[in-house]
Structure 1
Amino acid sequence: MSAPSVSVSPPPSPSPSPTSTPVAPAANAGYALLILTLINLVNYLDRYIVAVALPGIQQEFGINDTQSGLLGTMFIVVFMLASPLGGFLGDRYPRKFLVAGGVLLWSLATGASGLATSFIALLVARAVIGIGEAGYGAVAPSIISDLYPRDRRTRMLALFYIAIPVGAAAGYGLGGWLTQKYSWHVAFFAGGVPGLILGAMAFFMPEPQRGAMDGPDAQVKLPFMVGLRGLGRNAAFWAVTAGYTLMTFSIGGLGFWMPTYLVRERAMSADSSGFLFGAITAVAGLLGTVAGGWLGDKLDRKREGGGLWMSGIGLLLAAPCMYLAVHLKDVGPTFAAIGAAQFLIFLNSGPINAAIVNCVPPAFRAFAMGLNVLCIHLLGDAISPTLIGNIADASNLRTAIAVNALPVLLGGLALLVGARLFRDAVPRERATA
């Protein structure tokens, strides 16, 4: 007998029609979403402390911009390579244990970063952080998809991804203040404490049944090779991943280098640049993520791929804002352009990730998310900090950051293609049957 094929579309009845009875979230879904969101906040806090502490690290270790970019690249490379393994395990074992263990590991490594006495030691600590985060990043969205029905997933995932701008802002603000007042070592010490607490709390999260919110015919068990072949034929998944990758390339490089740009090119102090950039990231990211979650669910109810269509338009509008940010002379308009770009980019957080979990079977969601993480980082922010550092060494940091607008523009076009493919793969009458 031949192996069963895997459909590109979600299982039947994932999204209720307007006349059907709404599906209630799983028990204790709110507690699990809260813990996962707080962990995601600490996740991004840990990532961005190094960005605002970079001038002090460069001074202490005597490293250039290309070497400094390796601090971002090393973390991302390890994180992306380990993520498919985390997803593979997440589809087969209790996911809350992977979450808890990963958080505890990366939090210990964050504290160890503050003990580094050489550039190599700091690189090793950043690599270990990547291993810990891989045990969490791939499985968290699959947990949320099993806690909430499809007609609420975009909003719930948007709440989960609110932690990105808030955590990044906390990393910039806390890292800048502690670096300025004490040292960059102390900033890393402080960053590791919250994760240790949340890692212990994660052991008490509920472990939802896979496919619980996707109807009785959902594929909750699937041989790995069968699922892999189905994913390889899933055009919607790959189009979304391509757009996500281009966006990640750009915002990863921007987030890593913008505080240093404000210090070097705009003559701001490290604490001021970190605080202002972090505040703008928090406000614009928070508003963009919430708006994207609400609009994404609303547009998806009207047509399949509606949220992805909105995401593509958002990136097309964000590209010129990013370019203008480093060409405007006054600081005020510069920050306004940065805020507009971030709002438009963060519209995507909920819709993109909801599209990924909705277009693959429940039994393969964690691996699909892990593979997505591998792709967006392998060709995205794993290389962008170093490439931008190379361009900055060859010309200047303003030119290097301005070039970043091009991947955002191309990412918007890719998401528009993904919206069309998603709509064709999952027609509305099938989704509401």
Structure 2
Amino acid sequence: MAGISDGDSRAAVRRERLILLILAAVQFTTIVDFMIVMPLGPQLMRTLQIGPAEFGLIVSSYTFAAGLSGLVASSIVDRFPRRTSFLVLYSGFLLGTLLCAISPTYHTLVAARIATGAFGGVLGGMAMTIIGDVVPEERRGRATGSLMTGFALASVAGVPLGLFLGTNYGWQVPFIALVIAGVPILFLAPFAMPRLDGHVHQVHAHPLRSLTETFSFASHLNAFALTVALMMGSFTVFPYVSTYFVSNVGLTEQQLPLIYVVGGGLTLFTASAIGKLTDHWGALTVFRTISPISALLLLAITHLPHVAVSVAVVVFGSLMVSNVGRMIAAMTMITSSVERHRRGGFLSANSSVQHIASGMGAYVGGIIISESENGLLERFGLVGWIAAGSTLISLWLAGRIRSLEVTPGLAETISLGAAAEATVDASEPIAAAIEEC
């Protein structure tokens, strides 16, 4: 019996790794899709004959659509198996990305970005929901760190490659490449993922009541408050770093990709280690260790004078590592702060809050920052103090998060195992191939 138990355990770990690989790949495609629009701005404005305001709508339409769709999804997503929801969302995201590639006019591109955001914005919350259902709490920090590698790879490889394709072959080509990269993931997912439908059999309230309840529980509100503080501590600064580096720090536009490549590379190598430390020390301890460092780096980067490229690379890379590190710890706590049968709706709502708060942060930063007559950004340091203050507030908010994780009983464990049995044979050969990764 011990041998069978060990074999089942190894199979479960292989399945976790395969699912995490798929989710990280999805994270990569969705982040590149969102980020690639910004560096393509000059080409889009020239080709579509639009001004800065119209281009701003192209960028923000994705975020607003993601926020609204997250609220809708939070009221209904727990009524369906996780695998079904994931496949529908990712299919819609790829279709929206394809529509971006073939959009002939400005207005059709905005409509396509709305469609892409409506599906892509919910995928982040769905990925964390699947991790919460598949990965035990004692390994969840490492799993969240693995998911964050999608962000790192998007920064170090996806965005520079997409920018190269867009600059040399047209702004539509990066979107076509993302669709081509995403189709194999879409076809692999049904074989790799179990249905994850144990929550479906719970009694669900009316969608409107479900949405109200999501924003009624104290544990949910604490998690949402932490999410808002984290986003305000990031997006008041990050959208303007590139402009500040060029106008105030002295970097050239050709040197900017180096900043993101190095920062993404550092994140890629540290995310997994931070995830392991989160499992070993506890998410709250890791969060409270990294967040003060992040606050100091936010002040450093927003007050950076004219320096050598190497100094700018070190400061920005360190900030990216600390920012991703605190997100790993925070999302580990947030995922465990909700009951299993409410997790899909809650994390969809949290994804919506995250998008809306990031938009608010960027808006607040844009209101405060001004441009002088000689092209320098002014009051960026004040934005840094606001971001650092929000980061320090998150230390208190994180202490209010409580884990509601309940170890499943024997009957539930057997039920979940039976539900997964139907697909495990199909995915095990694939999972075995990456067992040593």
TM-score (norm 2): 0.78
* Structure 1 residue 38 displacement after superposition: 0.8
Q: How far 1:241 sits from its partner (Å)?
A: 2.8
Amino acid at match of 1:347: G
The match for 1:171 is 158
Equivalent-residue separation in structure 2 for 1:160 and 1:122 (angstroms):
29
Q: Is the 1:66–1:393 Cα contact (8 Å) retained in structure 2?
A: no
Which whole-Å CA distance do the structure 2 matches of 1:177 and 1:44 have between them? 17
Look up the match of 2:338: 360
Q: Deviations over 1:360-416 (max 9, x none)?
A: 100111111111112222132x24445555666655673375554234313322321
Would you say the 8 A contact 1:43–1:167 is kept in 2? no
Partner of 1:216: none
Tell me if 1:238 matches 2:225: no
Instruction: Assess, with a 3 A threshold, how the Cα gap between structure 1 residues 104 and 96 changes in structure 2: closer, same or farther.
Output: same
Q: In the alignment, is the contact (CA less than 8 A) between 2:78 and 2:343 conserved in 1? A: yes
Q: Aligned partner of 2:275: which letter? A: G
Q: What residue identity is the alignment partner of 1:283?
A: G
Q: Is the 8 A contact 2:81 2:195 kept in 1?
A: no
SS in structure 2 at match of 1:138: helix
Contact 1:66 1:389 in 2 (8 A): no
Q: Using a 3 Å threshold, how does the CA distance of structure 1 residues 206 and 305 change in structure 2: closer, same or farther?
A: same
The answer (yes or no) to whether the contact 1:66–1:386 under 8 Å persists in 2 is no
Aligned partner letter, 2:128: P
* From 323, 334, 338, the counterpart of 2:302: 323
Measure the CA separation in 1 of the matches of 2:335 and 2:277.
Answer: 18
1:124 aligned partner: 111
Helix, strand or coil at the partner of 1:348: helix
Bigger CA drift: 160-169 or 115-124?
A: 115-124
- Pairing partner for 2:323 from 336, 339, 345: 345
Deviation digits for residues 11-52 of structure 1, max 9, x if unmatched?
xxxxxxxxxxxx884772222221111111111111111122
- Return the alpha-carbon distance in structure 2 between the equivalents of residues 89 and 200 of structure 1: 25
Kindly tell me: are residues 62 and 139 of structure 1, through their superposed partners in 2, closer, same or farther at Cα, counting changes over 3 Å?
A: same
Q: What amino acid is the match of 2:228? A: T
1:376 is aligned to 354
- Distance 1:391-1:176 versus aligned 2 partners, 3 A rule: farther
Aligned to 2:66: 79
In the TM superposition, 1:400-419 aligns within 5 A as 402-419=381-398
- Gaps in structure 1 of 5+ consecutive residues: 1-22, 213-218
Distance in 2 separating the partners of 1:174 and 1:209: 35
Verify the 8 A CA contact 1:77 1:378 in the aligned structure 2.
Answer: yes
Between Structure 1 and Structure 2, how many residues are aligned?
393
Which residue in 1 is equivalent to 2:274? 292
Distance 1:29 1:352, change over 3 A: same
Match in the other structure for 1:45: 32
Q: 2:169 aligns with which of 157, 173, 182?
A: 182
Q: Report the CA distance shift for 1:44/1:390 in structure 2 as closer, same or farther (over 3 A).
A: same
User: For residue 285 of structure 2, what is the aligned residue in structure 1?
Assistant: 306
Instruction: State whether structure 2 residue 236 is matched by structure 1 residue 248.
Output: no
Percent identity reads 18
Closer, same or farther: CA 33–238 of 1 in aligned 2, 3 Å: same
Query: What is the CA-CA distance between 1:56 and the residue it aligns to?
Result: 1.6
Q: 8 Å contact 1:106–1:129 — kept in the other structure?
A: yes
Instruction: Between 170-179 and 251-260, report the one with greater CA deviation.
Output: 251-260
Number of the residue aligned with 2:141: 154
Q: Distance in 2 between matches of 1:398 and 1:96?
A: 46
2:186 aligns to what SS in structure 1?
Answer: helix
* CA offsets 1:180-217 (integer angstroms, 9 cap, x no match): 322222223223221222122222232264679xxxxx
- Give 1:145's aligned residue: 132
1:218-237 residue pairs with structure 2 within 5 A? Answer: 221=202, 223-224=204-205, 225=209, 229=213, 232-235=216-219, 237=220
* AA aligned opposite 1:379: A
- Structure 2 distance, partners of 1:33, 1:120, is 36
* More helix by percentage: 2
Cα pair 1:101 1:199 within 8 Å, conserved:
no
- Cα separation, partners in 2 of 1:427 and 1:220, compared to 1, 3 Å: same
* Amino acid aligned to 1:153: R
Q: Partner of 1:52: helix, strand, or coil?
A: coil
Structure 1 counterpart of 2:95: 108
Shift of 1:77: 0.5
Q: Which amino acid aligns with 1:154?
A: G
User: Any conservation in 2 of the 1:155–1:297 contact (CA below 8 Å)?
Assistant: yes
Structure 1 pair 314/372, CA: closer, same or farther in 2 (3 Å)?
Answer: farther
Cα deviation, residue 319, structure 1: 1.9
- Give the letter aligned to residue 248 of structure 1: M
Find the aligned partners of 1:106 and 1:350 in 2 and give their Cα distance: 24
Q: Deviations over 1:117-153 (max 9, x none)?
A: 4332222121111112144222221111121111111
- Stretches of structure 2 that go unaligned for 5 or more consecutive residues are 1-8, 408-437
What code does the residue aligned with 1:296 have? Answer: T
2:120 is the alignment partner of 1:133: yes
Closer/same/farther in 2, CA of residues 251 and 404 from structure 1, 3 Å limit: same
C-alpha deviation, 1:311, in angstroms? 4.6
- Letter aligned with residue 29 of structure 1: E
**Residues 128 and 281 of structure 1: CA distance in aligned 2, closer, same or farther (over 3 Å):** farther
Give the SS at the match of 1:111.
helix
Deviations 1:253-276 (A, max 9, x none): 655454455566646345x52x31
Confirm or deny: 8 A CA contact 1:315 1:411 kept in the other structure: no
